[in-house]
């Protein structure tokens, strides 16, 4: 997805524990294959593949096929909708800064 995903798709995608665990594992590794993600996940490769499809549609991960393997990596901008949402509805965060993005620029221009 090069198109910006919505807060709705991001939230819904990360709401499932198994899928979120897959995402966390992808983030924690540079690149990782489906087989590796399946190992220790407690579900079948088919299930993992379905979760990866959801994560990809939500713009949270990207794939890189190489031979018969497919490597997945985290899409850095994928959580932007969540960050934006937090900056609006983050309650006690909102009270301190109008926009997290603005803050980020001040720190790391």
Partner DNA sequence: CAGATACTTAGGCATCTGCCTAAGTATCTG
Partner DNA sequence: CAGATACTTAGGCAGATGCCTAAGTATCTG
Q: Where along the sequence are the contacts to DNA (CB under 7 A)?
A: 12, 15-16, 18-19, 33-35, 38, 42-54, 63, 67-71
Which one of residues 1, 47, 70, 86 is an interface residue with its own copies (CB under 8 A)?
86
67 binds, among DNA, its own copies, none (CB under 5 to 8 A by kind): DNA
Tokens in use for 64? 């890189």
Binding to its own copies (CB under 8 A): which residues in 22-41?
A: 23-24, 27-28
Residue 11 contacts its own copies per CB under 8 A:
yes
Long-range contacts of 26-34 (CB under 8 A, 24+ apart): 26/55, 26/61, 26/72, 26/73, 26/74, 27/74, 30/73, 31/64, 31/71, 31/72, 31/73, 32/71, 32/72, 32/73, 33/69, 33/70, 33/71, 33/72, 34/69, 34/70, 34/72
Q: Which is nearer to DNA, 67 or 109 (CB)?
A: 67
Tokens in use for 81? 């909708």
Residues that bind its own copies (CB under 8 A): 7-8, 11-12, 14-15, 17, 20, 23-24, 27-28, 74-79, 82-83, 86, 88-93, 96-97, 103-104, 107-108
């Amino acid at each position: 997805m090069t198109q910006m995903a919505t807060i709705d798709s991001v939230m819904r995608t990360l709401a499932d524990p198994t899928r979120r665990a897959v995402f966390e594992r992808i983030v924690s590794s540079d690149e990782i294959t489906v087989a590796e993600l399946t190992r220790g996940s407690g579900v079948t490769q088919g299930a993992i593949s379905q979760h990866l499809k959801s994560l990809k549609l939500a713009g949270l991960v990207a794939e890189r096929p190489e031979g018969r393997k497919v490597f997945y990596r985290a899409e850095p901008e994928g959580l932007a909708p969540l960050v934006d949402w937090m900056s609006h509805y983050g309650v006690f965060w909102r009270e301190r800064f109008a926009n997290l993005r603005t803050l980020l620029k001040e720190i790391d221009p």
